[in-house]
Amino acid sequence: MFDDLIAEASAVPVAGWDFSWFAGRATEQRPSWGYARLLGRQMAGARRAVDLQTGGGEVLAGVASVPPLLVATEGWPPNVAVARRRLAPLGVHVVRAAQDGGLPLRSACFDLVVSRHPTVVGWSEVARVLASGGSYLSQQIGPDSVGELRAALGVSVPPRADQRPDRVREAATAAGLDVVDLRMESLRVEFFDIAAVVVFLRKVVWTVPGFTVDRYRDRLAALHRRIRAEGVFVAYSRRVLVRAYRR
C-alpha cells in the first residue's frame, strides 16, 4: 500500500497551480475574505494591471472582466509555459521574471498590482511599477504555514520573520505604500493519504526545501501509518491579506 501510493504520487505532474488532483485526498479551509472575489472586483475597475508570480495563471484565468492591459509574471519555466497557454485567450501578456529580482516592467505603469501566494515580495518593485494612487492586493503565505507537516518529517525551518503581519506592514510602508487592510488567518489542512502529502511537497517546494521521497522515506512511512490509524493528518496553513495604495 505505501509503495503503491508513493509510486502514484511520484508520477503526478506538478507544473502550474491546479490543485484539482487533491479532490477527495486533501482539503484546505479557505480564508474568510475570499481572494478570488476581491480580485474580480479590483480587476473590473482597473485599466492596467499586473499579476505577479501568477503560477500557471489558474487564479487569474477565473476573472470575469479583465482590464484593457493585463500582464502576468512568473519565474519558474514550466509554469511560464502553462500560464501562456491558459491566459492567451484572455489577451494576457505573460512575462518571465525572477521571483526575487527586478521586474521587467515600466515604472508607474499600472494602477493595480496583485499577487497570490508570492514566495518573495519585492516591495520596492511593487511600489515602482504602481502609478500614484494605484492599489496593491495580495494574499500571502503567513509564518510557519503547515509547520505541523514539517515537524512530522523531522524538519526544522525557522519561521520567516518577513511573513509576519507586523513585518509586512513595515516593509510595505518603507516602500511607499499605505496599508489599509492587513489580516491573518490560520486555516485547517487535512491530508487523507500519504500520496497527497507527497504531491503537496513536490508541488509547494518551499514547504520542505530539498524534499525527495528517498530522503524522507522513513518519515513518510511513519506518517503513512499514522494516517492509516487516525484517518487524517491535520496541519494549519496561514494566510495574510494585504491591501495597500501607492502614495
What value does the mean pLDDT of the chain take?
96
Averaged over 1-13, what is the pLDDT? Answer: 97
> CB neighbours of 139 closer than 8 A, spacing ≥ 6?
31, 35, 115, 116, 117, 239, 240, 241, 242
Give rounded-to-5 percent helix, strand, coil for the chain. 35, 25, 40
State pTM to two decimals: 0.92
pLDDT tens digit string along 179-199? 999 999 999 999 999 999 999
Q: What SS3 string covers 12-77?
A: CCCCCCCCHHHCCCEEECCCCCCHHHHHHHHHHCCCEEEECCCCCCCCHHHCCCCCCEEEEEECCH
- Parse the chain into domains and list their residue ranges: 2-246
Amino acid 124: pLDDT: 97
Q: Which CATH class is domain 2-246?
A: alpha beta
Of the pLDDT bands very low, low, confident and very high (cuts 50, 70, 90), residue 99 is confident
The three grid cell numbers given for residue 42, joined into one nine-digit string: 479590483
pLDDT of 101 higher than 90: no
